[in-house]
Amino acid sequence: MFFNENLETWNDLTKIIQNYVNGNYDKLTPVVNYEPATKLKEILDLKLSDDGVGHKKILQEIEKYLKYSVRTSHPQFNNQLHAGASFESLMGELISFVTNATMATFEVAPAATLIEAKLIEELNEKIGYHDGGGIMLTGGSNANMLALHCARNTHASDIKYKGNRGLDLCVFVSEEAHYSFKKAVILMGIGLDNLILVKAEKNGRMVSADLEHKIIESGDAGKTPIMIASTCGTTVKGAFDPIEENQAIADKYNLWHHVDGAWGGAALFSKKLGHKLAAAYRADSFTFDAHKVLGTGIITSFLLTKREGMIAAANSGGGSEYLFHQYENADYDTGKASLQCGRKVDALKLWLSWKALGHRGMTEYVDKQVEKTEYLTAKVVENPRLRLVSEPEYLNVCFQVIPNNKSLEINQYNIDLRFKLVKAGRFLVNYSSDPDGEIYFRFVFVNSATSREHIDYFLEELLKIAE
């Protein structure tokens, strides 16, 4: 009845979606129809009334929503660390919604729990975790927090029952690490003062010597170090922290070593970049977001652990009286290891995409992004109006536009240029800055639809606006 009663509306909706998607193939289609928030509020007519409206009006609202939404599947969107989505992942998202299962138990999500378990097995095999565990969750930020939760529970399991008890726990991350670690220590009662920032090189890579120095310094100050987090694929420059050196330090001081590979984890699939994660099997845990490079759509995130049972040990408790029963499939229930009870089926998106491409296709998919990164890098180096900020280590190309007028302040010039580009609507590419205040464009290759033609077009339009 769901579709039968709404068949006409469904057909109209599919036409609207098809027209929207087709628009992405035209390079003149705006990536964003930019309007300031105050004006957009008026355009969208956000009021909710006492009386409902019919489907005709609903479809009009959907068209308006699409018009003013950013086209993240457009090949000229290279702004965030996610873009586009494979058709297989779209099918997975649709089936996930139609079946509307929760991942807590095998009983309610039999196929989904087995698919998720298979993905975790395959990803662990790629990392080198031969007795590994894992779970899917709502984003890389939550995966990093759960890794810290596991590290704390492993360091002192009675914390689960008695709390931190005034222990001055501390965690070590690069100054280039993702801000999710700040959120994690706040939420877990560890505190921002106990998130110790380790120096990074100019290219964004953590300095291991400073890491060890700060661990010793923290111990001398009466703190209790529990975890090192190495970032593999920093958000801004795509740098890979030295896993092997950091692991040696973790072993020396008996610390949990976590690899945040939310962005850089796709290197596991790459012939060109796989060596950067060759030592990841030695770490205790690994964050991976398939929705970033692999195009599975938000959200497809994993926390993977070197040893099975670490996540359940930190999270187990409750639910046995009405949800988690003793029966033949109890070992496949995932809810006992999850911080969530209701948990959406996200596994289907990646499983169908991987199934369609196969191992070889997944490798080619990632390495095509690497080739495009190399292409833009070469274009920047050969153009006298552009300056490469650092040699790319992953899929991030950071560069500045040099003003013809030498009296212009270069940082403000690049900021102004970037926002002119945004308001023109044709491209969306972000900018970032270094601790020393240097500001530059950050073009990321996560959108599989972006081709060399789009790169050339972007540089052409950027330099036109620069004039």
Cα–Cα distance for residue pair 362/354, rounded to 1 Å: 7
Which residues contact residue 237 at a Cβ distance below 8 angstroms, ignoring those fewer than 6 apart? Answer: 176, 203, 204, 389, 390, 392, 393, 396, 398, 442
What is the C-alpha to C-alpha distance for residues 76 and 428, in angstroms, rounded to an integer?
A: 7
d(CA 191, CA 208): 23
Q: How far is CA 149 from the centre of its chain?
A: 20
- Report residue 408 as tokens: 């212009």
CB of 74 closer than 8 Å to CB of 31: yes
Q: Say how many residues make up the chain.
A: 467
Cβ atoms within 10 Å of 380's Cβ, excluding its own:
22
Return the HEC string of 289-326: EHHHHCCCCCCCEEEEECECCHHHHHHCCCCCCCCCCC
Beta strand 439-444 with 396-401: parallel, antiparallel or unpaired?
A: antiparallel
Which among 426, 411, 434 has a CA at the least distance from the CA of 462?
A: 426
Kindly tell me the sign of the dihedral angle through the C-alpha atoms of 299, 293, 25, 380: positive
What are the beta bridge partners of residue 397? 443
Q: Please give the Cα distance from 443 to 428 (Å, whole number).
A: 9
Tens digit of each residue's pLDDT, the chain (467 residues): 566 778 999 999 999 999 999 999 999 999 999 999 999 999 998 999 999 999 999 999 999 999 999 999 999 999 999 988 899 999 999 999 999 999 998 999 999 999 999 999 999 999 999 999 999 999 999 999 999 999 999 998 888 888 888 889 999 999 999 999 999 999 999 999 999 999 999 999 999 999 999 999 999 999 999 999 999 999 999 999 999 999 999 999 999 999 999 999 999 999 999 999 999 999 999 999 999 999 999 999 999 999 999 999 998 887 877 787 888 988 888 888 899 889 999 999 999 999 999 999 999 999 999 999 999 999 999 999 999 999 999 999 999 999 998 889 999 999 999 999 999 999 999 999 998 899 999 999 999 999 999 999 999 999 999 88
The widest CA-to-CA distance across the chain, in whole angstroms, is 75
Structural domains in the chain plus CATH codes = 92-354 (3.40.640.10)
For the entire predicted model, the pTM comes to: 0.95
Residue 370 CB burial class (10 angstroms; 0-12, 13-18, ≥19): buried
Q: Which two three-digit tokens encode residue 295?
A: 């195009």
Query: Please, which contacts does 313-318 make with residues 24 or more away whose CB atoms are closer than 8 Å?
Result: 313/150, 313/153, 313/154, 313/157, 314/146, 314/149, 314/150, 314/152, 314/153, 314/154, 314/160, 315/146, 315/149, 315/339, 317/160
Whole-angstrom Cα distance, residue 393 to residue 425?
A: 29
What are the structure tokens assigned to 296, written together?
A: 């599975």
Question: Which residues does residue 197 pair with via DSSP β-bridges, in sequence order?
Answer: 173
Question: What does the alpha-carbon distance between residue 186 and residue 189 come to, in Å, rounded to a whole number?
Answer: 5
What b-and-e string marks burial along 434-447, b requiring 16 or more CB atoms within 10 Å of the CB? beeeebbbbbbbbb
